[in-house]
Copies of this chain bind each other. A is one copy, B any other.
């Protein structure tokens, strides 16, 4: 195992590639983020890293809310588009043919076409350098009924989510095992 060593880089893979909606009404925008993840179970808390120069940063700061929308693999064009153009110049909802849907806990609209939506309220902001970390409490979760298994849990195969690493978007691959399987050997 010969290792090649480099200086500091952002090589924690894989990453989610989520569509974060922010802002209110016709002023709402969408930004694609890979610097995003769950950080605490109770209360359920997510963290997203956003550059202060981004249009969405001001919207999140101003409203104090955002929605994490999980895209399907067939949304990959929109995922890439919403990560490469600015909401200052583009109506991303129209460009991606996405529908604003009202949430139940926050004023920011959900992306209707995304099978999973997490309504979040900002509880803390931490300046990290190039990015500010917004810590958000999850206030409510919505899932398309058609991506649920009979027991009401998310069906990974039906949801057909995506992930990103190494400069590419990837589909979720084959099942390797269920959590806890090692205890059964």
> Quick check: is A118 within 8 A (CB to CB) of the other chain?
yes
Copy tally for this chain in the complex stands at 2
B6, B76, B168, B169: the one contacting A140 at CB < 8 Å is B6
Contact A131 B41 (CB under 8 A): yes
Band of interface residues on A: 35 or more
* CB proximity to B under 8 Å, residues A143-185: 143-146, 148, 152-156, 159, 161-183, 185
Query: Could you tell me which A residues sit within 8 Å of B by CB distance?
Result: 1-16, 18, 34-47, 49, 68, 70, 73, 76-77, 80-81, 83-84, 99, 101, 104, 112-113, 116-118, 124, 126, 128-131, 133, 135, 137-146, 148, 152-156, 159, 161-183, 185
